[in-house]
Structure 1
Amino acid sequence: MTFAVPNVVGEARVVVLAGGLSYERDVSLRSGRRITDALTRVGVAAELRDVDASLLPSLVDDPPDAVVFALHGQVGEDGSLRSVLDLIGVPYVGPSAAAAHRAWDKPAAKAILTEAGIATPEWIALPREMFSDLGAGPLLERIVERLGLPLAVKPASGGSGLGVHLVRTVAELPAAMIGCFAYGDVALVERFATGVDVAIGVIDGPEAPITLPAVEIEPISGEYDYAARYNPGATTWHVPARLSETQATAAAAAAIGAYQALGLRDLSRVDLIVPDSGAPQVLEANVVPGMTETSLFPMAAEAAGHDIGDLLVAMVHRVLAT
């Protein structure tokens, strides 16, 4: 599939939103610069804007033809800023406000996936207050009794591996919970899924969503944390992932299933674990995939033969055509 650059897009003005005040600010700015450069390279008038008090007045006074999100963290991914853009009539690339909110709230997203028959690791979501109300010791005991070990502990919303902990022993669980709560008030504790760790980009094709090649993630340290994601040399990636044909087909189907169940559009990234046998386990969907030099979505696009600028312009064209 090729992505031609329509003439109408070359005349458009696009604002790329990045930065903000989240823990992921630096990564967001790196993504934003790469997106802006990619759009400029294919002839689009693209402007990189931070998210601050001057943004809304400028969008109202001089609205762009479309907005592209490179804004990681809550404001960019939970649907709230998309709602503001809807309010002032500025179109944007990516899922609607409601769909972005569904994907951002990991427990809610996992419930939707489960109802749709898409496999996801068994989990429980626990607010910080519950530990003081019920007692941390007895509650943690019940978690281990129900879900077993090892466990993955992560904030119920957020990305870039921040606040994520792998718990192999009961003794590691309290510290993991404390570390998780440093990034949010609700912890998602899920059964650790074993298998090949893959990320699959999903984009809207002319008639239906299609997948980019699966990217297999192999951290040198063994854990795909923040440092492994964004420090060159800390992770080995395999594109396409080293999966059998059957596994690759099942993983792609699961990614598209998650994309559709959550009501996503334009482009997103779905993270999965592919076991040796059985159904792929969907971990989460990211509605603002990273676009840095070590990010997975552009890596997959390049492997498929797509220039990331042309691909993004095609998405802008879809926005302008609706």
Structure 2
Amino acid sequence: MSRAPSETHVAVLMGGLSSEREVSLSSGKGCAEALETAGFRVTRVDAGRDLAQVLAGLKPDVVFNALHGDWGEDGCVQGVLETLAIPYTHSGVLASALAMDKDKSKAVLKAAGLKVPGGGLFDRHEVARRHVIDPPYVVKPNAEGSSVGVYLVREGSNDFATEVGADGWTYGDLVMVEPFIPGKELAVTVLGEASGPRALTVTDITPVKGFYDYEAKYAPGGSVHVLPAVLPPEVFEAALRQAEAAHVAMGCRGVSRTDFRYDDVKDDLVLLEVNTQPGMTPTSLVPEQAAYVGLSYPELVRWMVEDATCPR
């Protein structure tokens, strides 16, 4: 993008239709304010089914996609933006769709030589009835983010079964079940720069209580972030390089975030997933890591807008 910020109209998509609507509203608010601070002309758009018509009327120069979850993060909105020929931030249709499907993305990452958890997809009703793998293990929707619908199951625990087996469950009949990997929860932000992907740093995330679930991610004080993470140098370096490799393998562009678990007893680093639309809320990891390497929030969102493209 060659225009000056003051000459650039950015539509910030937020809210949307998914279970991650509230997270997206928070991300979108922060990004819109940061873009205004950086000098852009900004329109906030609460994305609904009429998104194509709204954008056709607004005629923005760039779309900043701050949506999370299905429809906004899984390639659907990306397809709308490409149909309208509007440059947009973050990954394209294929990478977005792939990253939202945990089963398929694990297959791609494994084929790229990256270590991913075992387990697989199971019918949720079967998972609610019995242990399909030996506990402890993690149950999660195959196509959700922000730790929505995620449960850590230990020996003798069955409180999750009521939710997973309920008629009101809205996250699909197939759920991902993976062995629980003890140790540290790690995250790495990658910027897809012209010279190649650049990993920023590694954050060690410790939930204040229990598991790193939705509340631990987004509630104020829900988790403690240590950055840079205190790790053996070779593990720190491996996390950086593997996050860059995952960014490439998945076909990401713009910003991505890769999540790991590191078992410091077994010295085992396992890649959990790649997020193509990482959170940009006040407690989110991406702006925190960017600030650590000297990139302010307004500078980060400006870079994302300048990186926006629309594949032809």
2:111 pairs with 1:125: no
**Cα 1:179–1:161 shift into 2, 3 Å:** farther
Equivalence for 1:91: 87
2:52 pairs with 1:23: no
Contact 2:87–2:310 (Cα < 8 Å) also in 1: no
Contact 2:112–2:249 (Cα < 8 Å) also in 1: yes
Secondary structure of the structure 2 residue equivalent to 1:162: coil
User: Letter of the aligned partner of 1:215 in structure 2?
Assistant: T
Cα displacement (A) at 1:181: 7.9
CA deviation string 1:190-236 (max 9, x = no partner):
01112210111111123000012112110110211111111112211
Equivalences for 1:174-253 in 2 at 5 Å?
Answer: 174-175=161-162, 177-178=164-165, 182-185=169-172, 186-253=174-241
Paired residues, number: 308
Contact 1:163–1:180 (Cα < 8 Å) also in 2: no
**Structure 2: gaps (5+ residues):** none
Equivalence for 1:261: 249
CA deviation string 1:10-69 (max 9, x = no partner):
421111100012221111111100000111101111211001244321212332111111
CA distance in 1, matches of 2:276, 2:33: 20
CA distance in 2, matches of 1:120, 1:60: 41
- Structure 1 runs (4+) greater than 6 angstroms displaced: none
CA distance in 1, matches of 2:64, 2:273: 21
Q: Percent same amino acid among aligned pairs?
A: 35
Secondary structure of the structure 2 residue equivalent to 1:213: strand
Equivalences for 1:1-322 in 2 at 5 Å?
Answer: 8-128=4-124, 131=126, 140-141=130-131, 143-144=132-133, 148-169=134-155, 171-172=157-158, 174-175=161-162, 177-178=164-165, 182-185=169-172, 186-276=174-264, 277-319=266-308
User: Letter of the aligned partner of 1:184 in structure 2?
Assistant: Y
Secondary structure of the structure 2 residue equivalent to 1:30: helix
CA distance in 2, matches of 1:282, 1:91: 30
TM-score (norm 2): 0.91
CA distance in 1, matches of 2:307, 2:120: 38
Higher share of residues assigned helix:
1
CA distance in 2, matches of 1:156, 1:218: 24
Contact 1:163–1:182 (Cα < 8 Å) also in 2: no
CA distance in 1, matches of 2:82, 2:136: 43
Pairwise CA RMSD: 2.3
TM-score (norm 1): 0.89
Secondary structure of the structure 1 residue equivalent to 2:147: coil
CA distance in 1, matches of 2:123, 2:5: 45
**Structure 1: gaps (5+ residues):** none
User: Letter of the aligned partner of 2:77 in structure 1?
Assistant: L
**Cα 1:74–1:239 shift into 2, 3 Å:** same
Cα displacement (A) at 1:8: 3.1
Secondary structure of the structure 1 residue equivalent to 2:209: coil
Secondary structure of the structure 1 residue equivalent to 2:4: helix
Contact 2:85–2:310 (Cα < 8 Å) also in 1: no
